């Protein structure tokens, strides 16, 4: 007895029940739990017959037969009901369920299960999905379409070759980094859309770090010029956003050089812990009646112009880092990290991670340079907060960022080479 085939049949039975339950729950006139279960089993049997008889025509013939049955059922439904459901969701779901049943036999069973389960979830969240779409604005659609163009249209057609001096400019690699950064920003932006504008100061700091810690610093600093009483709250949000930005840096490192995570992430995690402790201290000293804590609405994070600017900046930093290492030695990289971190810590992080990935740069030096760039970015945001915000905000930011910068400098200076995950 082939227990593998029995297991396949059981999986198809379960997936058919799952999708059928959802369709019957919404009182679908076309097919319910029994019909979908039978369709899934039909798909499995079609796969068995195709495999065992080695006849490639059995599967498409049964698929066409099922399609014909669905067409006839639709005709009957249109004549039998005065107000029939003219949607095609159930019919398409039935054909997909047949294909899943067959794929469980002739393809990858895990992929089939994932597709079946995903389809049932998609059918279940119909109302929530429609509600979400109704809430989207024009700029939200623009963000989705721009990201789709960046990731699904442009990225696949770019050449995967290195060009230019020092052989560090790879168009596909550069655009993949653009896709990663824009994707993280779009994720934060749509989390903002889900949770709404008024979500509390902790969520504001987290969202600010996901979207843009620099933009969050500018927004909250300007708030304090009109309402000095919220300076401590603004300092908490800005510090929290900067801590989350460090998490974002760690995600970027993990994506680009996953094999170097044991060496590179532990000191960055400790730096984050220091900043988290500072955030906790600020939170418990905040006056809860300190005024408006609404999250400023961010602009479209997937603007094509911004993506191009980031790509150019990333490429320029790649060249600067390669030049400094080749012509001036590793010491010059620290100056490059400080200058680059002032403007965009993502670009220098990805650039250095690429060098570590290709073994052009030692991982221990890599995380030090990345942390140094993050500290440089902290200093820059501290200056922004002081210039654009109230004096009280400047004092609180000087304390919180000062502690974080000193802690980071100690990690860079004294971290033992043998310490890693």
Q: Does 229 score more than 60 pLDDT?
A: yes
Q: Does 155 score more than 50 pLDDT?
A: yes
> pLDDT per residue over 4-56, tens digit each?
788 888 888 888 888 887 777 765 555 677 888 888 888 889 888 888 888 88
Mean pLDDT of 391-396: 89
Query: What's the pLDDT band for 127 if we cut at 50, 70, 90?
Result: low
Mean pLDDT of 154-179: 81
**What is the pLDDT, as a whole number, of residue 216?**
80
The distance of Cα 112 from the centroid of its chain, to the nearest Å, equals: 24
Work out the widest C-alpha separation in the chain, in whole angstroms: 82
Identity of the highest mean pLDDT range in 7-16, 114-123, 392-401: 392-401
**What is the pLDDT, as a whole number, of residue 271?**
94
Tell me the pLDDT of the chain averaged across its residues. Answer: 80
Mean pLDDT of 396-403: 92
The DSSP string of 221-266 is: HHHHHH-GGGHHHHHHHHHHHHHHHHHHHHHHHHHH-GGGHHHHHH
**What is the pLDDT, as a whole number, of residue 26?**
62
Q: Does 313 score more than 80 pLDDT?
A: no
**What is the pLDDT, as a whole number, of residue 403?**
94
Q: Which of 32, 34, 35 is closest to 22 using CA atoms?
A: 32
**What is the pLDDT, as a whole number, of residue 375?**
94
**What is the pLDDT, as a whole number, of residue 84?**
58
Listed by start position, the domains of the chain span 3-132, 137-414
**What is the pLDDT, as a whole number, of residue 250?**
92
d(CA 131, CA 214): 32
Cβ–Cβ < 8 Å for 185, 301: yes
Mean pLDDT of 344-363: 84
Other CB atoms closer than 10 Å to residue 286's CB: what's the count? Answer: 17
**What is the pLDDT, as a whole number, of residue 289?**
43
> Among 136-140, 170-174, 243-247, 408-412, where is mean pLDDT lowest?
136-140
Mean pLDDT of 102-121: 85
**What is the pLDDT, as a whole number, of residue 194?**
66
Q: Does 358 score more than 50 pLDDT?
A: yes
**Angle between helices 391-414 and 231-256 in degrees, nearest 10:** 30
Query: What's the pLDDT band for 73 if we cut at 50, 70, 90?
Result: confident
- What share of the chain has pLDDT > 70, as a percent? 84
**What is the pLDDT, as a whole number, of residue 404?**
94
d(CA 12, CA 96): 12
**What is the pLDDT, as a whole number, of residue 311?**
78
Phi, psi angles (nearest 5°) of residue 294: -70, 150
> pLDDT per residue over 187-212, tens digit each?
767 776 666 554 566 777 777 777 77
């Amino acid at each position: 007895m082939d227990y593998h085939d029995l297991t396949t049949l059981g999986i198809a039975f379960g997936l058919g029940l799952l999708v059928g339950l959802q369709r019957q729950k919404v009182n679908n006139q076309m097919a319910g739990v029994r019909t979908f279960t039978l369709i899934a089993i039909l798909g499995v049997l079609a796969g068995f017959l195709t495999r065992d008889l080695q006849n490639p025509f059995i599967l498409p013939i049964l698929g066409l037969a099922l399609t014909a049955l669905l067409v006839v059922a639709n005709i009957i439904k249109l004549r039998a009901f005065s107000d029939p459901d003219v949607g095609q969701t159930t019919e398409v779901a039935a054909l997909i369920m047949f294909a899943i049943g067959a794929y469980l036999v002739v393809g990858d069973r895990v992929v089939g299960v994932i597709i079946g389960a995903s389809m049932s979830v998609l059918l279940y969240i119909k109302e929530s999905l429609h509600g979400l779409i109704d809430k989207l604005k024009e700029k939200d659609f623009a963000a989705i379409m721009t990201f789709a163009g960046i990731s699904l249209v442009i990225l696949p057609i770019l050449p995967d070759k290195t060009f230019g001096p020092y052989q560090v400019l790879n168009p596909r690699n550069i655009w993949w980094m653009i896709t990663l950064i824009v994707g993280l920003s779009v994720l934060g932006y749509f989390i903002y859309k889900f949770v709404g504008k008024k979500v509390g100061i902790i969520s504001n700091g987290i969202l600010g770090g996901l979207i843009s810690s620099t933009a969050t610093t500018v927004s909250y600093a300007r708030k304090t010029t009109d309402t000095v009483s919220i300076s401590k709250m603004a300092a908490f949000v800005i510090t929290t956003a900067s801590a989350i930005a460090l998490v974002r840096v760690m995600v970027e490192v993990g994506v680009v050089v996953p094999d170097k995570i044991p060496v590179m992430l532990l000191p960055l995690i400790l730096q984050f812990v220091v900043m988290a402790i500072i955030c906790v201290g600020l939170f418990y000293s905040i006056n809860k009646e300190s005024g408006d804590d609404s999250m400023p609405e961010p602009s479209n994070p997937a603007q094509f112009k911004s993506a191009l600017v980031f790509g150019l900046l990333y490429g320029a930093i790649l060249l600067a880092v390669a030049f400094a290492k080749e012509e001036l030695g590793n010491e010059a990289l620290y100056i490059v990290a400080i200058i680059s971190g002032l403007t965009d810590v993502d670009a220098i992080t990805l650039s250095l991670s690429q060098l570590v990935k290709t073994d052009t740069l030692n991982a221990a030096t890599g995380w030090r340079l990345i942390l140094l760039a993050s500290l440089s970015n902290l200093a820059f945001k501290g200056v922004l907060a002081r210039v654009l915000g109230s004096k009280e905000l400047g004092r609180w930011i000087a304390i919180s960022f000062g502690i974080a910068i000193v802690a980071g400098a100690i990690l860079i200076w004294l971290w033992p080479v043998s310490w890693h995950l």
